[in-house]
Amino acid sequence: MGPRLQPLVFILLAVAALWAEVAGDGGGQLEVEMGGAGGGGGGLITDQLLNNSHIVVLPGESAKLACPLPSDVFGSRVSWIRRRDMQLLAMGENLFTGDHRIFVSHSRHPHKKDSRHTQVWFLHLKNVTKEDEGEYECQTSTHPHNSYMTFLKVQTAWSELQGPAERHVAAGSTLRLVCTVKDGHLPLKYVFWYQDSKMINFDKRRGVNFTLERDHSVLTVSSVSDTHAGNYTCQPANATPSSVLVLVMVETTEPGAEGGRGQKGADNEKTQVRQLGVKSASSAGPRVLPQTLALFLLGPLLLDALAFPRVFQSNL
């Protein structure tokens, strides 16, 4: 045999040995079959495919995926596979992932028909995130395999404050904010209300009250004053927050020109509206009159002009 043919012979012998090992029992090794019921993504599942399930959770919640075993395969081991990246998560009670949010459990239930027992395996995911969304497969170690597909949907809920993003409220009136939750679990568990960075749910001394309904919360502030101006935020359970800017309009009166009395003086009074919550451009600093500025710039020139005749006469 020539030296050029020896590497090719070794490769053929290695492939033949590997094929013989795969065709045999496999030495008790795990056999994982990937693929969808429709033939997409990694091949067909040729064994029995049980009914699929669909679970919807919100970010931060816990998900519990069930894998019921028929009575004729009671006692078999179950493997959990995340099909997005074909990652083996668990086999039986043994975990094959470093994600500490994942664990498994199982329970036994009496069979209603013939006193035999059925077994249900569960895959638990704590503090679910959007990255956990996708299809999960549990597969029995029997022949033929029983596969059960579960699609985990991580649905992001969001909140909405009714009305414009900027509210103008007159001092002394009542402020009412309505926060509605969209695409969330109902009824609502709780809603936190904030003024700037301070939670005000129980700030009754300042006239703040809130109510919690099935799908919304209402914040009411009675007798609004300048201390109620600011940014208001509603934060529902497991939902994105929503904010609104509240401006308090305060009316102040200033007396008119000196000497104005009676009805004429009242007509000369000026009414000014101040917006509390937004810095006014007129309050940026002290006001400089144009006359004062002109006198400051032209003063030295006037002094020189007055002194010029005296200097001219002395030279004569």
- pLDDT (0 to 100) of residue 142: 76
How far apart are the C-alpha atoms of 99 and 80, rounded to whole Å? 14
In this structure, the chain runs to a length of 316
Confirm if 252 and 269 have CB atoms less than 8 A apart: no
How far apart are the C-alpha atoms of 279 and 22, rounded to whole Å? 76
Residues 6+ apart with CB under 8 A from 150: 52, 53, 54, 55, 65, 66, 67, 135, 136, 137, 138
How far apart are the C-alpha atoms of 138 and 152, rounded to whole Å? 13
Q: Which domains does the chain have, with CATH numbers?
A: 46-154 (2.60.40.10), 157-251 (2.60.40.10)
DSSP string, 113-151: TTS-EEEEEEEEESS--GGG-EEEEEEESSSS-EEEEEE
Confirm if 248 and 224 have CB atoms less than 8 A apart: yes
- pLDDT (0 to 100) of residue 145: 75
Q: Residue 296 is inside which H or E element, if any?
A: helix 290-315
Which of 96, 90, 184 is closest to 137 using CA atoms?
Answer: 90
Question: Which residue type is seen at 48?
Answer: Q
- pLDDT (0 to 100) of residue 33: 35
pLDDT per residue of the chain (316 residues) written in tens, 0 to 9: 555 555 554 555 554 544 444 344 333 333 333 333 333 333 223 334 445 788 999 888 899 999 887 766 666 778 999 999 999 999 988 999 999 999 999 886 655 554 455 678 999 999 999 999 999 999 987 777 778 899 999 988 899 999 999 999 999 999 999 999 988 877 888 999 999 999 999 999 999 999 999 999 999 999 999 999 999 999 998 889 999 999 999 887 666 545 445 555 445 444 455 566 643 333 333 343 444 444 445 555 555 555 555 544 555 5
Which of 272, 233, 237, 227 is closest to 252 using CA atoms?
Answer: 272
Region of 18 on the Ramachandran plot (φ > 0 left; ψ -120 to 50 alpha; else beta): alpha
Confidence (pTM): 0.53
